[in-house]
Structure 1
Amino acid sequence: MNDMEQTQKVSRETTLHVRDTCLCLHAQRAARALARRFDAALRPFDLTNGQFSLMMSLNRPDPPTIGAVATFLAMDRTTLTAALKPLERRGLVEIKPDPDDRRNRRLSLTADGCKLLARAVPVWQETHDEVDRLLPEGSPGRLRSDLEAVSST
């Protein structure tokens, strides 16, 4: 008997069941398709969809901490720090020590970052509207609330 014959195999039926029902697989596939669509739309601004989302998370009156942004974006701090570097190098984001606790860092958009974001938002909105039209009527809101239910657990 060879190694393949000795190893236990997963049935074809199980493979098809996972293919057809696995929420994680379907969410990953949808996320990749959405990411490609938004990456293409934001390419003229030299932004990825992730960078756009990160910049939007900084668009607030008071500069948030790295920890607060990481939590909001469901990223670990190390990944967020790496994602911030190209935006900081481009002069779109500033990272400054927290005046109340110098161990923390506060994040903010620069004037150039605000201008770029303002130019990119209409393209994001147009692309988002296109995606919403692909979904059955009323389902974009339901999809968002369903995804929120999963991500908040």
Structure 2
Amino acid sequence: MSARKAPPWDPEAVPTFWINHASRLLMRHFEQRLRPLEFGMAYLPVVIALEEQGPLLQKQLAEYAHVEQPTMAALLTRMERDGLIERQPHPDDKRASQISLSAKARKRVPEAKVQLEEVAEQAMAGFSERERATFLSLLHRVVANLDPDAG
């Protein structure tokens, strides 16, 4: 009796391969478009939070971005180096700083959004409105399957 040979594994036959590949391509295109504006994809959760909510504490930004405090501290250090955020002493807690967008960042945010939208449109070229809605719904389900606490 001979042992049956397992069929070869074909990663391209599973949707997760294509989700990962698409994600990597999107990130590459986003980064290429944002680089001239001195933005990076990692900066976006901070930029969005500060744009929408005004000055925040590092702890609040870490919670908003779903990252640990040391990760946020390093990110904010890079953003400050790049002139995208400013720190002011907190009026009630002398150990804390309030973080806000710099004038440079506020000026560049609209163009960054345009660039992100153009890449998103490029990625969805040829999709009908119905296909776009279906695709979005399916991606939401994938995320919910992997992270029941999401959304």
Same topology, TM > 0.5: yes
- Give the aligned partner of residue 133 of structure 2: 138
Aligned letter for 1:35? M
- Paired residue for 1:93, among 79, 85, 88? 85
Mind listing any 5+ residue stretches in structure 2 that lack a counterpart?
Answer: none
Q: For the Cα contact (< 8 Å) 2:45–2:64, is it kept in 1? A: no
- Give the aligned partner of residue 95 of structure 2: 103
Question: Counterparts of 1:152 and 1:63 in 2: how far apart (Å)?
Answer: 30
* Secondary structure of the corresponding residue to residue 56 of structure 2: coil
- Give the aligned partner of residue 35 of structure 1: 27
Give the length in aligned residue pairs.
Answer: 141
**RMSD between superposed Cα atoms in Å:** 3.0
- Give the aligned partner of residue 56 of structure 2: 64
- Paired residue for 1:16, among 9, 15, 31? 9
Q: For the Cα contact (< 8 Å) 1:92–1:110, is it kept in 2? A: yes
- Displacement after TM superposition at 1:29 (Å): 4.4
Q: For the Cα contact (< 8 Å) 1:51–1:83, is it kept in 2? A: yes
* Secondary structure of the corresponding residue to residue 101 of structure 1: coil
- Displacement after TM superposition at 1:40 (Å): 1.4
Mind listing any 5+ residue stretches in structure 1 that lack a counterpart?
Answer: 1-10
Question: Counterparts of 2:58 and 2:70 in 1: how far apart (Å)?
Answer: 10
Question: Counterparts of 1:16 and 1:74 in 2: how far apart (Å)?
Answer: 34
Go from structure 1 to structure 2 and tell me whether the alpha carbon gap of 1:22 and 1:121 turns closer, same or farther (over 3 Å shift).
closer
Please state if 1:47 is matched with 2:42.
Answer: no
Give TM-score scaled by structure 1 length: 0.70
Give TM-score scaled by structure 2 length: 0.71
